[in-house]
Structure 1
Amino acid sequence: MKSEAWIFGICTVFMVLVTPAYWLITAASEEGGDWTGTSALVMCTLLFTMIWIYLGFHAIKMDPRPEDRLDGDIAEGAGEYGFFPPFSWWPLWAALTFGLVVLAVAMAAWWLVIIAAVLGMLATAGWNFEYYRGEFKH
């Protein structure tokens, strides 16, 4: 985790340097500055800092992983990484119903929003429970 902490630390330093420079450059313009971009950069700086601190604290407390050690071998990192589904149609249906909700809101067709929301709930339920039945049942 030390390498990840270093990456976020470098990003934090970069953002600390870029944010005031952006504010000064936009403040010199005729409009008097871009508060939206400056606020976004400040928030990004704070988020990078938060992740850097979190990863730094956990890197100190945990044993180094093979990729964190200089003498670590590739074979030490072997093993199960988790469960990855082979395929699923449910994300497609969830995305289509979300697109239908957005389209219905844009058209102000509230009756279609309700229908799309119900279809979205069915798609989400199907996605959540797809491994409780069928070929890939656990």
Structure 2
Amino acid sequence: MKEQGKIFIGFAVFILVMAIVYGLWTSHAGKPEPAGTTALFLAFGLCAFIGYYLAFTARRVDSGAGDNPEAEVADDAGELGFFAPHSWQPLSLGIGGALAFLGVIFGWWLLYWSIPIIAIGLYGWVFEFYRGEDQNQ
């Protein structure tokens, strides 16, 4: 994680420099272009957040095979976590999210159908594996 944090922080610095150069260049060209400059500064913030998180987390966890330059591919083998084998909840969230974004185009009234679909999908995804003793009643 330490190397990944360094990569993201380096990328954030590069984007910051490019945002400043782009902002100055477009302002001297006659027409300032605020949308691109704003997007670049937001991209800088995103990369800085991710880089800080990875660098901060790398200090608290053991170094992995990605931090060792002498590591082999097999050193990173093993269980990576638990992933749901089948779930309909992402489909529900995707349909609800698509309807919500279509609401920006066609009108806010479309949110009346999208918000309940998103809420059902989110609730189902969060509580998907609560069965038996752990199930809420």
TM (normalized to structure 2)? 0.69
CA change 1:5–1:118 in 2 (3 A) is closer
Shift of 1:81: 0.8
1:1-138 equivalences in 2 (<5 Å): 1-31=1-31, 33-103=32-102, 106-108=105-107, 110=109, 113-132=111-130
- Once the two structures are TM-superposed, the CA of residue 68 in structure 1 deviates from its matched residue by 1.1
Instruction: Flag the 1:106–1:84 CA change in 2: closer, same or farther, 3 A.
Output: same
Kindly indicate whether the alpha-carbon contact (under 8 Å) linking 1:105 and 1:113 is maintained by their aligned counterparts in 2: no
Tell me, in whole angstroms, the C-alpha distance in 2 between the residues paired with 1:50 and 1:116. Answer: 30
Q: Aligned AA for 2:54?
A: L
Q: Give 1:27 shift.
A: 1.0
- Going from structure 1 to structure 2, the CA distance change for 1:109 and 1:125 (only over 3 Å counts) comes to same
**TM-score if structure 1 supplies the norm length?**
0.69
Give the letter aligned to residue 118 of structure 2.
Answer: G
Change (3 A) 1:67 1:17: same
Q: CA RMSD in A?
A: 2.9
Matched AA of 1:39: T
Gaps spanning 5+ residues in structure 1: where?
Answer: 134-138
87-96 or 19-28, which moves further after superposition?
87-96
**Rounded Cα–Cα distance in structure 2 between residues aligned with 1:47 and 1:89:** 30
Larger relative contact order, structure 1 or 2 (CA cutoff 8 Å, min sep 6): 2
How many pairs align?
A: 131
Deviation at 1:98, TM superposition (A): 3.5
Deviation of the 1:55 alpha carbon: 2.9
Deviates more, 1:34-43 or 1:96-105: 96-105
Q: Secondary structure at the match of 1:83?
A: coil
Could you tell me the percent identity over the aligned residues? 34
> 1:82 Cα deviation (Å)?
0.6
Q: Work out whether residues 9 and 52 of structure 1, in 8 Å CA contact, stay in contact via their aligned partners in 2.
A: yes
SS in 2 for 1:130: coil
Q: 1:78 to 1:27 in 2, by over 3 A?
A: same
Gaps of 5+ in 2: 132-137
